[in-house]
Amino acid sequence: MKILGIETSCDDTGVAIVEDGRNCLSNIISSQEEMHSKYGGIVPEMASRQHLLSIVPAVSSVLENTGMEFDDLDAVAVTHGPGLAGSLLVGVNFAKGIAFSKNMMMASINHLEGHIYSAWLGGKDPEIDPGFPLLCLIASGGHTELVLMKDHGEYETLARTRDDAVGEAFDKGARLFGMGFPGGPEIERLASRAIGSETKFTRPVVKNSLDFSFSGLKTALLRRLEMKMPSAEFDPGDIPFGLKANIAKEYQDALVDSLVSRTVKVAKNKNVKGIIVCGGVAANSLLRDKMGSESPFPVIIPEKKYCTDNGAMIGAAAWYKLRVNPEYQWAMDIIPSLRLN
């Protein structure tokens, strides 16, 4: 089954054609990074307008890359939440138009479920190996959740963040260093230039809970940078580069440590068959390495290009739904605050 996957929940326009849930035939991401970078975050109105401009060329490109026409597709799948309302509307209405006019199956996909299914892309088959239950760490700009996946489409959320998402902590941290958006890759680059170590940041703990918390770390970073400022003016440009890199390394270590220690602890409690790490932050090399070395369970992390938002993960998730239940959800709508269960 060949599925056109469309993802427009946030800032990137992602379109892909995926065969049988695992084989991505073409994957186009039209990034809005440059447009939002100077604002230090996403401007929703600009994002939805840009999706309108990008979606037709992106769909045309995946068709051209695969030598396919709309009639060669079996289904259309689209993210219907959670996300920015204006952005979701563009993808959902575009998908409805194609599916209705071509009388094609159509699936609405939860963005978080899409991230989970990115683990199936590229040939790996966790359905056979290692099996269920799987513990999924979804770490993105809007979400930080630990989800127990009992089977395809069966989820139980075990923990989430009490305040900022971990990607948000990377983004806000980068802004404090005077760097652009998205902040994750910026912090990772700066941390890789560290020449020594600094005092460690205290790891955040939410008492009597499995939940995450990241806003305290961001405040601790602000205080640390303020302390290192030679003048009363807050200007990160005044701090020597090596010192900034050392602090960025400590900040990244603290964020990654929080994710890895909590995830491994819960995985042991639930005696899972494996751990999936997904969402934009899963592109972080330290997180990938640390989870791999500290988990006693098999760890499945998608290729970096499938970690940040993309249409392929939506096409993959849809296959596991449509192969069981053919769906023609032409009347579905966006749900900006959609949850996984």
* Interaction site with ligand KG4 (CB under 6 A): 10, 140-142, 167, 170-171, 182-185, 188, 279-281, 283-284, 308-309
Site for Zn ion contains 164 (CB under 5 A): no
Minimum CB distance to Zn ion smaller for 87 or for 140: 140
Indicate the DSSP class of residue 306: G
Residue 329 binding partner per list Zn ion, ligand KG4, none, with a CB distance cut-off of 5 to 8 Å that depends on partner kind = none
Site for Zn ion contains 11 (CB under 5 A): no
Minimum CB distance to Zn ion smaller for 111 or for 321: 111
Site for Zn ion contains 140 (CB under 5 A): yes
Contact in structure between 83 and 266 (CB atoms under 8 Å): no
Minimum CB distance to Zn ion smaller for 32 or for 246: 32
Edge to edge, what strands does the sheet with 144-151 contain?
Answer: 154-160, 144-151, 134-139, 274-278, 299-300
Site for Zn ion contains 309 (CB under 5 A): yes
Helix H, strand E, coil C: the string for 180-202 is CCCHHHHHHHHHCCCCCCCCCCC
Residue 284 binding partner per list ligand KG4, Zn ion, none, with a CB distance cut-off of 5 to 8 Å that depends on partner kind = ligand KG4
Minimum CB distance to ligand KG4 smaller for 167 or for 274: 167
E-assigned strands of 35-153? 75-81, 105-110, 134-139, 144-151
CB of residue 144 to ligand KG4, shortest distance in Å: 10
CB of residue 74 to ligand KG4, shortest distance in Å: 26
CB of residue 237 to ligand KG4, shortest distance in Å: 21
Contact in structure between 287 and 139 (CB atoms under 8 Å): yes
Q: In whole angstroms, give the CA distance from residue 175 to residue 197.
A: 21
Minimum CB distance to Zn ion smaller for 110 or for 246: 110
- Report the alpha-carbon angle 36-39-87, nearest 5: 40
Residue 319 binding partner per list Zn ion, ligand KG4, none, with a CB distance cut-off of 5 to 8 Å that depends on partner kind = none
Residue 110, helix vs strand vs coil: strand
CB of residue 63 to ligand KG4, shortest distance in Å: 24
Minimum CB distance to Zn ion smaller for 82 or for 253: 82
Q: Is the dihedral of CA 285, 213, 147, 144 positive or negative?
A: negative
